[in-house]
Structure 1
Amino acid sequence: MEKIKENKTYIILGVMVCILLNYLFYYFRVTFEGNTLAAIDYLFSEPQYLLYAFPLSFNVIDLFVPLFTVVFAVFVLIDKKNNKKKYKKGVEHGSAQWGDVEKDLKGMYDEEDQYNNILFSENTKIKLDDKGAPFKLRRNKNVYVVGGSGSGKTRFVIKPNMLQMNASYVCTDPKGTIVNEVGMALKNIGKYKIKIFNTVKFSKSMRYNPLQYVYNEQDILKLVHTIIANTSGDGPKGDPFWEKAESLLYQAYFSLIVSKFPKEEQHLGTLMDLITYSTVKEDDEDYKNPMDYLFEELEKEDSNHFAVKQYKLYKLAAGKTAKSILISCGGRLSPLNIPAMRDLLSTDELELDTLGDEGRKTAMFIIVPDTDDTFNFIVAIMYSQLFNMLCTIADDKYKGEFPTHVRFLLDEFANIGQIPNFEKLISTIRSRNISATIILQAFSQLKTIYKDKADTIVGNCDTSVFLGGKEKTTIKSLSEELGKETIDDSNESKTRSNNNSFGQAYSKLGRSLMTQDELLVMERDECIVQIIGKRPFKDKKYDLTTHPRYKFHSKGKKYWFDIEKYLEALKTPKNQQKRNTTNKQEKQREELKLILTTVNGSREIS
C-alpha cells in the first residue's frame, strides 16, 4: 500500500503520456492512411510536423481555461505537499510494547554453547564472547541490576552467572555465603583458583597489600585519593585545606616506603608508624622529629625525589597546624592500628595482577559486612587498584585485550565505598575484555555516593535488570523509560429523559507500558530486562535449580566450600599434605577396632 502511494505521481504521468501518444498515433495513422514507413520518413525530415498532431488554438477561452486549470492544480498540489499530515495509525500516543525474545534477541545469544551466555532472566541472555557477531548484534557486557531487599539479587543473578564458568570473577560477597555455595563447583568443575579477602573475619582471609601494586607516582596519587574519598564521612565537607595537607603527607610517606624501605616493611602498617614518629612541638619551630632527619638524608641523596618534594610542601605548615594535620591522619587511619588488620595488610597473597591471564581462571570473593563500613576503604582501594591495574596490564601485556574475560559482580555496590573516576573506568573497561555488573537496592544509593556521575555510570551499562522494589526514584524512572503505548478508549453516555438517548465514542489514548503502581505490585518471580536497542522484556527470573550445573551447588555439606580448610591447605606444602594424609590413614587403621558386646561380655576384633 505504501509503495503504491510513493509511485502515485509516476502512475499519473504515465497515464498522461499514454493518452498523448494515443492522440499522436491516431493522427499519423489517419493522415498517412496506415503507411508507417512514409510517416516515419516524414517525421524525421520534418520534425515540426509533430505539432500538427496537437494543434494550438489562440482563442482566448481555449488559452486561459486550460492555463487556469493547470495553475490551480499545481497550486493545490503544492499546498497539499506543504501541509501534508503525518499519521502513525495505532501508535499516535506511543509505540512502546514488550519485546519478543525469540524475535528480538535472535543472534544475540549463543544457541550452540549455552555456557557462552550472560544470563539475565529465564529467557533473556546475550553472548559473552561475541567477536564474530555483526556489530548491530553486539553489546557491552556491563549490567545494572536493581532489586529491593529479598528480591533475589544473589540467587537469580550472581549464582547462575558464576555457574556459567565462562570468565574470571571478582565477586562482592556481603553475607559471605556465595563462596560457600559455589566455591566447590568453581574449584572442582571449573578448575578455578579461589581467592578470598574477608573484612568480616580476618582469620578467614588471604592477605592483601595495596603497596604491592604501587609502581609509580601516579599509583601513589590514586591510592591517596581513594583513602581520602572513603574515610571522609557522610557529613558536610569542611575546609579542603586539611584533606590536601593530609594528602601531601601520605604521598611523601608512601613514596618513601615504596622506594627506600625493605620489602617486608612496605605495607600500610608502616605508614601508621611513620605518622607516630612525626611529632611536633607547638612552642618550638626549630624542633626536628626523626622523620625530618630521614628526609634531610634523602634530600642529600636525591633532591628531586617525589617524597622529598611532597614532604617539603607539608612542612610549610606551622607547628600547631602540623599537629592538627597529624591528629587528623591518625584518626582517619585508626583501623590500621588493629593488630589483626595490620597483619591482614602486611603482605600479599591475592596476586591481583594475574586475574585476566590466559590459562587457569580465577574467582576472587571479597567478603564485606553489610551493616558496618569501617573497613570499606580497604575494599575501595582494592577495587580502584584492580580496575586501573587491569586496564594497564591489558594494554601493555596483551595489546589492549585480556585473553580471559574478567567479570566484576559487584553485589551491594553501595557498600564497597567510592571508586575514584569509576564513571570513566566503566566506559573504558569494555575494550579490555572486562565488564562490571553493578547490583543495588535502589538508584538513590548510587546517587548518594557518585552524585551527578551516577547517571553516567548507568548510561554505560547496555543492559539493566529490575528485580522489584519500591524506592520512588527507581520506580518513576523505570516507568518513564519503558515509555507509553497507544490504547483504544471507549466512552459511553446515556441521557435519561422521555426519549432516552445513548451515545458511544471511540478515541486513542497514551498509557504507560507499566505505571508506577503496577511496578510496585509486580509478581515476585518476575523481572524486567532492558537491553539497549531492543524493546523491554518482561520475563520470569532465572530459576537457579534449572541450571545444568546446579547439582554442584551447595546442598548441605556435600558441596559446601569450607574457607578455613581451604586456606589451611594453601599454607601447608603439598609434600606435607601427603604425609598428613598417610599418617591419618595409619592412625585410622590402628584405631579400627570393633567392640562387639555379647552376653558373655565384650570381644575385641582387630
Structure 2
Amino acid sequence: MSFLFASFPLILPIIRSEKMKGEHESMANGFIDTKRNAKEKRLQIIMGIAGILLLMYLCARSARYQVDNPEMLMFEAFFLVLSRIGEEPFALYFGQEFWETFGTMGILAALAVWVAFDKRIMNRHYKDGEQSGTAAWQTPKTIQMFNRKFNAPYGKPYADGDENIIYSKHCQLTMNTRRTNLNNNAMIIGGPGSGKSYNIVRPNLLNAYCSYVVTDPSGELLATTGKFFEDQGYDIRVFNLTDMAHSHCYNPFCYLRGEEDVLTLITCLIKNTEGQNKGGGDPFWEKAETALLEAIIFYLIRYQKKEMQNFAMVSKLLRQAKADPQKAKSQLDEIFDEVRRYDENDICIKQYDIFKQASEKTAQSILITAAVRLAPFNINTVENLTSSDDMDLRTIGDKKIITYIIVPQGNNPYAFLVNMLYSQMFDTLYYHAATDCEGLRLKHDVHFILDEFANIGVIPDFQVKLTTMRKYGLACMIFIQAVGQIKTLYKDDWETLMGACDTMVYLGGNELSSMEDLSKKLGSQTIRVRDSSHSRSGKGGSDSRSFKWTKRELLTVDEIRRLKKGYCIIVIKGEQPFYDEKYITPEHPNAKFLGDLGEGLGLYVFDYCNAKSEDLQKLEKKRRVQQDNAIKRGAASMRPEAKPYVAGSLIPSTKKMTPEEEKEIAKQLADRVTDMSFDREAELKNGATIKSVRGGIVSVSSAKPKDRQASATGRVMKATVPMDRTISNEDMMSDFASEFLDDND
C-alpha cells in the first residue's frame, strides 16, 4: 500500500482550476489558459513532495512498532500501521529502524511508479501538449529573463535604460543590435486614436538616446518636445511643408554624387506625382520624360554654378524649350548645342538626343507633362525652400540631432519633397557611414520615426534599405493604420518590407487583413479538450467522457478585433509574443519636460525664416502703404455700427474695447512669444505691436524682428492703429484683399 501513496501525485488526474498568478498572466487569461503545461509540472512537484512526506510518516510509525516489539518484522509492522492508521497518530520513531524501513519502502515505491507509468511514457506523443503548436504568451518570469538578456541595465530583471526602445508597459528592447542580434526596425499598426503618437512616439523621444528623424503631421511634436531636446543639447532641424517660409532649406541637388543618384531623384519625383500626371499607362512617356529631366539636371550640375543647381532652374529651362515659330530651334536646343560643341559625348547630350528623337507633337506633350510636374517649384515659397540647403543630411549621425518633418495632415501636394528628402537621407547616411565612419557605423544611431508612413509615398528600394540599414546604425519605426496601406504602396515588395521589421506592434484596429496577418504571426497552441456524450433509452442510459489534444490559434481574428482598450500585442522575432498594457507616457521620468498644448506651457517656438532679403524689402514697402491706408480709415472705423476686432478671436465682439482695455491687453501680452512675420505691423502708443497670427489669435509684443533670422513661424496680418480706436473685421478683410492683389500683380 505504501507505493500507492507514493505514486498518488503522479497518477492524479490533472487539475485545471488553479488560477494563473501575476499581472501579465491575467492579461493573457482574458482569452484562454495558455500555461497548462507549467501548471501540470507545478502540481506534480507538489504532489510528489506530499507523497514522500506521507511515506516518511508511515515508515516512522512502522519503526515505532518495531522498537516496541523487537520480534516484529519490517513488513509486518508496516502493514499493521496501514490497518491501524487512525490509532496513536503521533507515535513516531526516527532511529535506525526508520531509515531501514524508509529505504526499503522507497525503492519498492519508485519501482512500482516506474512500472505503472512505463506504458504511458512509451506510448505517448514525444511531447504531450505540443503536438499542434507551442505558441504561448510571455509571463512575468519569461519577461524577467527577456529583460536580463535584451534590455538595459543588462542582467537585471527590469528594463530601465535610455537605450531601450519602448513598445509597451513591460516590453522594451535595447538598441544594441550586437547584443540582440536583431534589427531595430518595427512595424506599428493602429487605427486612428489607437495611441501611436501618445503611447509609442513620445515615450521613445523622451529617452533622448540617439539622433531622431520624426515625421510630425501636425507640428505638435515640435511644439511639445522641441524645448526638451534643446535643453538636452540637440541640434534642432525643421523641414516644414505647412509653413515653408519658416523651415530649414533642402536642395536635393546638394546630395547628387553620381549618375545613379540623378536617376533615383527623378524616379522619386515621377513616382510620387504620377497621380496628377499619368501617361495613360504607356511606359514610353515616363521614360522619355526621365531622359529629358536627366539631360537638364546633368547640364546644371556639370556646367552651371551651385546657385543655379535647383529644381526651380530646371523648371525655367523647361519653359525655354517652347519653340519659336520664326526659329528652327528653341532656346533649350541652343543651350545643348553649345554643350555639344564642347563635348558631344557628355551624358546630358546623350539623354537630350533621346528626347529629341520624338516627333514634334510627341516632344511637345512630353515637355508639357514635365513642366506641369515641376510647376510647384514656380511658387516662391517652394523655390526658396529648395534653392539652397542647410539641412546638412551628412551630419545627422555625427552628433545628436533631431529633425522634424512637418507635413499637412490632409491633402499634401508637396509629398514628393518629403519622399525625396527621406530617399536622399538614407542614401547619404549609407554613403557617409561606409566611407567616412569607423567600423562602417555612424557615431550616433539614427532612429527614423515614420508616422503616417502611407502619406510619404513610395521610397525607391526602401525594402532593400530596411534589410541592410542595421549595420550602419540606422533603424525605422514605421507607423501605418492597416497592412493594406503597405500592400497598396509596395504591391510587389510589401512582404519583404514587413519581413524586414523584426518587431511588430498591434495597437488595435478594425481592418481584416491586419488582424488575419497578426493571427498567423501569433501561431497556434495545443490544448486539451473534453468530449462528453449522453444517451438515454427505456432500458437506461449511459454517459461517456474523453479527452484529446487539439489545435487552437493563440488569438482568433475575432479575439484580436475585441482587443481590450489600453492593451497591445507585440511580436518580436524569436520570442513568444507579448500581450501587454500600452505605455503610459506621464509615467516616463522625463514626461515633466513635455510642453502642454492645452495650457500653452513649455511650448517650443521655431523662429527661423528662409525669406530672401529682396522679399523682405517688398514686404516692408507693402507695410508702409498699408500703414497709411489704415490711418486714413481710422475715422471710418469709429462709426457706431462697426464691429471691433477683439484680441484672441476673429468673432465680432458685442461691445467696443476702451483704450484702457487695449492698454491692459498690450501690457499682459507684451512679453509673450508668438508666431509672427512682418507682412504688416504698427506700434501702439505704449510702444507695443499688435499682431494677428494664424487662426485669428491676436497678440501684442514689444519686440520687433531685426532681420530674417529673428522672425518666428506663422503667417500673420498686422495693422497699425492709434490706441484710441479698434480694428474692425471689415478693415482687416479689406487690408487682406489689398495685400492679396498686390502679391498677384
Q: Distance in 2 between matches of 1:88 and 1:269?
A: 69
Q: Tell me the equivalent position of 2:604.
A: 561
Q: CA deviation at 1:265?
A: 2.0
Q: Distance in 2 between matches of 1:334 and 1:109?
A: 50
CA 1:378 to 1:568, structure 2 compared with 1: closer, same or farther past 3 Å?
closer
User: Partner letter of residue 241 of structure 2?
Assistant: T
Stretches of structure 2 lacking an aligned partner (at least 5 in a row): 1-9, 11-121, 155-159, 614-670, 672-685, 689-745
Q: CA deviation at 1:266?
A: 1.5
Matches for 1:83-122 after TM superposition, within 5 Å: 87-99=126-138, 100-111=142-153, 114-122=161-169
Q: Tell me the equivalent position of 1:316.
A: 357
| Deviation per residue, 1:150-170 (Å, 9 max, x gap) | 101111111111111111111
* Length-normalised TM-score, structure 1: 0.76
Q: CA deviation at 1:127?
A: 1.3
Alignment counterpart, residue 414 of structure 2, candidates 375, 378, 402: 375
CA contact (8 A) 1:108 1:138 kept: no
Q: Distance in 1 between matches of 2:313 and 2:687?
A: 51
Alignment counterpart, residue 423 of structure 2, candidates 384, 393, 418: 384
Q: Distance in 1 between matches of 2:168 and 2:280?
A: 42
Alignment counterpart, residue 342 of structure 1, candidates 378, 383, 386: 383
Matches for 1:275-354 after TM superposition, within 5 Å: 275-280=318-323, 287-354=328-395
Q: Distance in 1 between matches of 2:206 and 2:195?
A: 16
SS of equivalent residue, structure 2 residue 444? coil
Q: CA deviation at 1:524?
A: 1.9
CA contact (8 A) 1:280 1:319 kept: no
| Deviation per residue, 1:179-219 (Å, 9 max, x gap) | 1111111111x211111111122233222111111122221
CA contact (8 A) 2:272 2:416 kept: yes
SS of equivalent residue, structure 2 residue 458? coil
CA contact (8 A) 1:527 1:540 kept: yes
CA contact (8 A) 2:526 2:552 kept: yes
| Residues 1:246 and 2:312 aligned together | no
Q: Distance in 1 between matches of 2:298 and 2:477?
A: 34
Q: Distance in 2 between matches of 1:422 and 1:428?
A: 10
Q: CA deviation at 1:339?
A: 2.0
Aligned length: 486
Q: Tell me the equivalent position of 1:440.
A: 480
Q: Tell me the equivalent position of 1:506.
A: 547
CA contact (8 A) 1:196 1:205 kept: yes
CA contact (8 A) 1:485 1:511 kept: yes
Q: Tell me the equivalent position of 2:260.
A: 218
| Deviation per residue, 1:13-45 (Å, 9 max, x gap) | xxxxxxxxxxxxxxxxxxxxxxxxxxxxxxxxx
Matches for 1:20-419 after TM superposition, within 5 Å: 87-99=126-138, 100-111=142-153, 114-131=161-178, 133=179, 137-188=180-231, 190-233=232-275, 238-280=281-323, 287-357=328-398, 359=399, 361-399=400-438, 400-419=440-459
CA contact (8 A) 1:171 1:366 kept: yes
Alignment counterpart, residue 458 of structure 1, candidates 489, 498, 508: 498
Stretches of structure 1 lacking an aligned partner (at least 5 in a row): 2-82, 572-583, 585-589, 593-606
CA contact (8 A) 2:385 2:610 kept: no
| Deviation per residue, 1:303-348 (Å, 9 max, x gap) | 2222111111111112111101011112222222222212221211
| Deviation per residue, 1:544-588 (Å, 9 max, x gap) | 01111000011233321112x35599x9xxxxxxxxxxxx9xxxx
Q: Distance in 1 between matches of 2:536 and 2:604?
A: 77
Q: CA deviation at 1:105?
A: 4.1
CA contact (8 A) 1:182 1:554 kept: yes
Q: CA deviation at 1:503?
A: 2.1
| Deviation per residue, 1:213-242 (Å, 9 max, x gap) | 112222111111111111111879611000
CA contact (8 A) 2:125 2:131 kept: no
Moved more, 535-544 or 297-306: 297-306
Q: Distance in 1 between matches of 2:198 and 2:347?
A: 48
SS of equivalent residue, structure 2 residue 404? strand
| Residues 1:494 and 2:545 aligned together | no
CA contact (8 A) 2:569 2:578 kept: yes
CA 1:105 to 1:138, structure 2 compared with 1: closer, same or farther past 3 Å?
farther
User: Partner letter of residue 493 of structure 2?
Assistant: K
Q: Tell me the equivalent position of 1:74.
A: none
SS of equivalent residue, structure 2 residue 266? helix
Q: Tell me the equivalent position of 1:478.
A: 518
SS of equivalent residue, structure 2 residue 493? helix
Q: Tell me the equivalent position of 1:57.
A: none
> What's the C-alpha RMSD, in Å, of the aligned pairs?
2.6
CA contact (8 A) 1:528 1:539 kept: yes
CA 1:166 to 1:203, structure 2 compared with 1: closer, same or farther past 3 Å?
same
Moved more, 194-203 or 231-240: 231-240
Q: Distance in 2 between matches of 1:364 and 1:106?
A: 33
User: Partner letter of residue 474 of structure 2?
Assistant: I
Q: Distance in 2 between matches of 1:591 and 1:327?
A: 53
CA contact (8 A) 1:252 1:310 kept: yes
Q: Distance in 1 between matches of 2:562 and 2:343?
A: 68
CA 1:323 to 1:435, structure 2 compared with 1: closer, same or farther past 3 Å?
same
Q: Distance in 2 between matches of 1:511 and 1:549?
A: 42
Q: Tell me the equivalent position of 2:100.
A: none
Q: CA deviation at 1:85?
A: 8.2
CA contact (8 A) 1:217 1:306 kept: no
User: Partner letter of residue 457 of structure 1?
Assistant: L
Q: CA deviation at 1:502?
A: 2.2
| Deviation per residue, 1:491-534 (Å, 9 max, x gap) | 22222333132222222221110110110010121111111111
User: Partner letter of residue 555 of structure 2?
Assistant: M
CA contact (8 A) 2:291 2:355 kept: yes
SS of equivalent residue, structure 1 residue 408? strand
Q: Distance in 2 between matches of 1:280 and 1:446?
A: 44
CA contact (8 A) 2:150 2:174 kept: yes
SS of equivalent residue, structure 1 residue 452? coil
CA contact (8 A) 2:247 2:610 kept: no
CA contact (8 A) 1:96 1:482 kept: yes
SS of equivalent residue, structure 2 residue 580? strand
CA 1:181 to 1:175, structure 2 compared with 1: closer, same or farther past 3 Å?
same
Q: Distance in 1 between matches of 2:415 and 2:237?
A: 18
Q: Tell me the equivalent position of 1:12.
A: none
SS of equivalent residue, structure 1 residue 179? helix
Q: Distance in 2 between matches of 1:196 and 1:567?
A: 11
SS of equivalent residue, structure 1 residue 278? coil
Q: CA deviation at 1:591?
A: 9.2
CA contact (8 A) 2:150 2:173 kept: yes
SS of equivalent residue, structure 1 residue 196? strand
Q: Tell me the equivalent position of 1:19.
A: none
User: Partner letter of residue 536 of structure 2?
Assistant: R
User: Partner letter of residue 159 of structure 1?
Assistant: R
Q: Tell me the equivalent position of 1:524.
A: 565
Q: Distance in 2 between matches of 1:161 and 1:202?
A: 27
SS of equivalent residue, structure 1 residue 111? coil
Q: Distance in 2 between matches of 1:515 and 1:351?
A: 48
User: Partner letter of residue 442 of structure 1?
Assistant: A
Moved more, 197-206 or 496-505: 496-505
Q: Tell me the equivalent position of 2:593.
A: 552
Q: Distance in 2 between matches of 1:269 and 1:320?
A: 25
CA contact (8 A) 1:143 1:438 kept: yes
CA 1:566 to 1:205, structure 2 compared with 1: closer, same or farther past 3 Å?
closer
SS of equivalent residue, structure 1 residue 122? coil
